[in-house]
Structure 1
């Protein structure tokens, strides 16, 4: 084969590949898309994912179906996404807790940082450190003093809240207090409101109703700045603690998702991020709308993973 003929064939092959990619980008998605939520139906993560799915369905004009597969701290549903074809038709809706799996889940095989492409954060919500309104303390300083002579067992509904809570207890010289880990926020809130534990560490999204209703007293929040909906509640930084705790909720895809499909997903999320009804729903339930670029999200995840690994080494008992 002469060189000129080979060059022509090569050009045809390249242009054909580009044509397929362009066509794929133009038509994606042309069938239903699944949003995997690796947590039980009915919870806060599920509710937010369903709001996002409705917005994406309106934008794409194709069904966007939410599938729940809870269990193993979110690993079951997450693994299903990794096992599915990496074609962009199976999206993962996850939370920052997945960055702890390398040390909190025995025999973990999922690399939370490198097995995925991070599309965008959807919202953030700070952890809140609070007590039943029946407890005779009005602020965190009073709580620390009260704990010197009372049973101060505290609850966490996730490994993330448990880790951040342990850091705070250590800095407040309350490292000997008992942590009660719960399978979710709902049973923890039931127990703190019933005075079975002294303090609970939920996200604001999971406790705003009780705070507004006056049954759960917020003593501090884990965000860098005061939370708009709780303007009278100080940050832990204001109380001279180095502790920060804020959960993100975001959209991910498998690492090998083709670039054309990935770009269409990013484009869609960017478009629905301007939907004020979606943003208003997020705010109403205690979240802050946060839609960021993939490279920004990826970089933040890498940095947060390093920070959490440092905390895990210091405050987390080795898993056996």
Structure 2
């Protein structure tokens, strides 16, 4: 309670709202996935606005590997001076649970700065494949497996939402697909276009242009609601497949633990003001991303909720990570 009261006071301080801590050199935002993926796109969009407000360059650095844990660990072990931040998504908490032996604790080793929003994930396949809807795809995948021509099921990281929910569908429906993990969403999309992977769960932020061009075919949305940018694509549950019901991930900005209160408060305030810019929010909506800003305390609670849900969801599940 004392920490919450202190943080609320700092965020409300007129002095901090007008200036407060000022970085004395460029700020690095580490994205733990390759350039070109959805997380990278979101980070660069926010960095542009933050740089303007902080009056120093805010640079995005891609440091991928180990399902996002390499970049996250680099931030966790960095100096807590506000000059090294992490822009990431739910694999921050998912990957350690699934892969084990994580180099960091997702709750203890970070200072949440703010949530940017959420995005609906969509199961899709290469449009060159015959199926036109989810039911046809299930039948087709089973037939291919029976003929020993199993489809390749891609994911942007082992243990990610894309992996776990697609594998849950694969296992429950006996589709016989083979999982292939990539080091980020951009390489996975490249694999679609080169026919290396047949299907998978992706963000529309990274794949919309290929859906519109007719190269990828969306079949089912994950979670309880259809994607706002593609309302014609029904959810899994609407189509009789109980996969991903109730699931919602996060997109957000964090720093290392033990940041000085004045530094943390200034960054949280700048990120809040960034997320309240109508032009930025409009750009996010156009990118199939729902802007849902949460301050540090609420974002911290979200991270804990997702961690606990993911622990329960994956308990006893054979994720075939080899």
For residue 6 of structure 2, what is the aligned residue in structure 1? Answer: none
For residue 72 of structure 1, what is the aligned residue in structure 2? Answer: 66
* TM-superposed deviation, 1:106: 5.0
For residue 163 of structure 2, what is the aligned residue in structure 1? Answer: 162
Change (3 A) 1:258 1:182: same
Structure with larger Rg: 1
* TM-superposed deviation, 1:87: 2.3
Change (3 A) 1:187 1:88: closer
- Contact 1:203–1:247 (Cα < 8 Å) also in 2: no
For the residue of structure 1 that corresponds to 2:254, the secondary structure is strand
| Cα deviation 1:254-278 (Å, max 9, x = unaligned) | 2211222212111111111121221
Change (3 A) 1:177 1:70: closer
Residue 307 (structure 1) aligned with residue 309 (structure 2): yes
For residue 83 of structure 1, what is the aligned residue in structure 2? Answer: 77
Name the TM-score, length of structure 2 as normaliser: 0.83
For residue 252 of structure 1, what is the aligned residue in structure 2? Answer: 254
> d(CA) in 1 for partners of 2:228 and 2:221?
11
For residue 200 of structure 2, what is the aligned residue in structure 1? Answer: 200
For the residue of structure 2 that corresponds to 1:290, the secondary structure is strand
For residue 134 of structure 1, what is the aligned residue in structure 2? Answer: 128
- Contact 2:36–2:186 (Cα < 8 Å) also in 1: no
- Contact 1:35–1:66 (Cα < 8 Å) also in 2: yes
Change (3 A) 1:233 1:23: closer
* TM-superposed deviation, 1:207: 0.9
| Cα deviation 1:259-309 (Å, max 9, x = unaligned) | 222121111111111212212222222222221122221112111111111
Q: How many residues align?
A: 300
* TM-superposed deviation, 1:24: 8.4
- Structure 1 stretch displaced more, 88-97 or 68-77: 68-77
> d(CA) in 1 for partners of 2:61 and 2:208?
26
> d(CA) in 1 for partners of 2:36 and 2:139?
37
| Cα deviation 1:138-197 (Å, max 9, x = unaligned) | 1111111222312333211222111121112233343x3321222333443344445544
| Cα deviation 1:48-71 (Å, max 9, x = unaligned) | 212111101112223322233223
Change (3 A) 1:146 1:68: closer
For the residue of structure 2 that corresponds to 1:41, the secondary structure is coil
Consecutive unaligned residues in structure 1, runs of 5 or more: 1-17
- Structure 1 stretch displaced more, 160-169 or 79-88: 79-88
| Consecutive aligned runs of 4 or more in structure 1 exceeding 6 Å deviation | 21-25
| Cα deviation 1:212-231 (Å, max 9, x = unaligned) | 22221100011321111101
- Structure 1 stretch displaced more, 197-206 or 213-222: 197-206
